[in-house]
Chains A and B, each alone.
Chain A
Amino acid sequence: MCLAIPGKVKKISNDHTAEIEIGGIVKKANLDLIPQVAVGDYVLLHAGFAIEVIDQEEALEILRAWEGK
């Protein structure tokens, strides 16, 4: 039930909702839990809400650490 899926913010509307692209499909999501989000950010989507912004630096860091080994 705690499933959440990463998607890219395509468009933000005035009513704190956004269009989020997930693997080619566009879903609407509420942004009230992460108001600091911008178009182009990747967010985690859970039950119609974006619950967190994905930190792109941290995302790469963890892979880089292993690629060199």
Chain B
Amino acid sequence: MRYIEEYRNKEIARKILEQIKCISQKEINLMEVCGTHTVAIFRNGIKEILPPHINLISGPGCPVCVTPLRYIDEIIALSREDNFIITTFGDMMKVPGSTSTLEREKARGAEVRIVYSTLDALKIASDNPSKKVVFMGVGFETTSPTIAWAILKAEEEKIKNFLVLSAAKIMPPAMKQILESEEVHIDGFICPGHVSAIIGSYPYNFIPSQYGIPCVISGFEPLDILQSIFRLVKQIEKKEAKVEIQYKRVVKPEGNRIALEKINKVFTLVDAEWRGIGKIPLSGLEIREEYASFNARKLNVPVEETREIEGCRCGEVLRGVITPPECRLFKNICTPENPQGACMVSSEGTCAAYYQYGRKR
């Protein structure tokens, strides 16, 4: 496939790797923020081929993983109401809430439908005018324009039974939080390519300017990731700190203006809870008052009290403080078939990636 195969060329990979080995001297920690990068790194064995002093740490960029218990409890409460259809991306089905999951609620008779796109959710709403159709608005900046689009379309076409329960989040404040907490030492960020296709490169500028840490916005194929690591190592060795775009075939410094306009039109920034990390100021996207009739949260359905999952260390995994094998539950009672924490649920979760690819580093 075009734009995939050519970025898997072994000969070029070898050249980049040689260069990395040539210039890299000191022990460094690079964080890949995005869950899609985590999976690509594991699948391609990138940790194994890097020099041992370049350490890759997985960050909080899996939207399924950082969705808080409270949000799952909210959607479960809605699914138990009469005449509701819950529509969701498939990976949310198994995410544990305080006492249940959507998958269990579906087995008990709740109407939960897996969709591939907000387009499908909107179609379900227009086909079922007597029911309230709630879309689980989970995702980062890559996905949030498609959620905003659906709300604008519902308004335009007067599809009044379409609602969204938003847990949409933005990435840069979470990176700031990780740097502020100082729990883990980071020398460079591999920034998310598809989030950046929407937001561009400017929102990361505070990272080099305030914290002196280099950032490279990376594509997802092996050559993209190796090149990004090469550029980070180069910046670190030269004692530079700037935001570079490796994924230039997709990412422009200003991002996708139309997508950003849609996000800003429908959503407003609010403080948001991230599973395992806590509240991060102005990191969540809530539906603006002008579109309140599409906001499922405004229905004020009573939600059960939140109960944390005992023993689960997803929080520390998401902050890059521990690796999954350091958690007592990992592979023991927490598996992809029976996940205890969210990082094992999503295929892009760090725990699921460690489980699937069984690496030690």
Residues of A bordering B, CB below 8 Å: 1-4, 6, 8, 22-23, 30, 32-35, 42, 44, 46-49, 51-52, 54-56, 58-59, 61-63, 66-67, 69
Is B250 in contact with A46, judged by CB distance below 8 angstroms? Answer: no
Is A48 in contact with B91, judged by CB distance below 8 angstroms? Answer: no
Tell me the minimal C-beta distance from A28 to chain B in angstroms.
9
Chain B 326-357 interface residues, beta-carbon cutoff 8 Å to A: 346, 348
Report how many A-B pairs have Cβ atoms within 8 Å. Answer: 119
Is B133 on the interface with A (CB-CB < 8 A)?
A: no
Is B194 in contact with A51, judged by CB distance below 8 angstroms? Answer: yes
Q: What total of chain B residues lie within 8 Å of the partner, measured CB to CB?
A: 52
Tell me the minimal C-beta distance from A26 to chain B in angstroms.
14
Q: Which residues of chain B have C-beta atoms less than 8 A from A42's C-beta?
A: 2-3
Q: Would you give the 0/1 interface string for B267-301, flagging 1 where the beta carbon is closer than 8 Å to chain A? A: 00000000000000000000000000000000000
Is A48 in contact with B249, judged by CB distance below 8 angstroms? Answer: no
Which single residue of chain A is at the shortest CB-CB distance from B153? Answer: A32
Q: Which residues of chain B have C-beta atoms less than 8 A from A30's C-beta?
A: 119, 149
In the complex, A6→B2 CA distance in Å?
Answer: 8
Residues of B bordering A, CB below 8 Å: 1-4, 6-7, 9, 12, 15-16, 19, 34-36, 61-64, 89, 91, 116-120, 138-140, 142-143, 145-146, 149, 192-195, 197-198, 223, 227, 246, 248-251, 256, 258-259, 262, 346, 348
Q: Which residues of chain B have C-beta atoms less than 8 A from A34's C-beta?
A: 256, 258
In the complex, A59→B149 CA distance in Å?
Answer: 29
Contact of A51 (CB < 8 Å), options: B34, B198, B249: B198
Is B120 in contact with A1, judged by CB distance below 8 angstroms? Answer: no
Q: Which residues of chain B have C-beta atoms less than 8 A from A1's C-beta?
A: 35-36, 62-64, 89, 91, 138-140, 142-143, 346, 348
Is B2 in contact with A51, judged by CB distance below 8 angstroms? Answer: no
Q: Which residues of chain A have C-beta atoms less than 8 A from B198's C-beta?
A: 51
Contact of A55 (CB < 8 Å), options: B34, B62, B145, B248: B248
Is A47 in contact with B146, judged by CB distance below 8 angstroms? Answer: yes
Tell me the minimal C-beta distance from A53 to chain B in angstroms.
8
Q: A2-B140, A48-B120 are in contact. List 15 more A-B contacts (CB 8 A).
A: A1-B346, A2-B34, A2-B143, A33-B145, A33-B256, A33-B262, A42-B2, A44-B197, A46-B142, A47-B118, A48-B146, A51-B142, A51-B194, A54-B3, A69-B19
Is B192 in contact with A2, judged by CB distance below 8 angstroms? Answer: yes
Interface core residue of A32, A51, A56, A63 (most chain B CB under 10 Å): A51
Which single residue of chain B is at the shortest CB-CB distance from A24? Answer: B1
Is B16 in contact with A52, judged by CB distance below 8 angstroms? Answer: no
Top 5 A-B residue pairs of the complex, sorted by shortest distance between their CB atoms: A48-B117, A59-B249, A6-B3, A58-B248, A2-B142
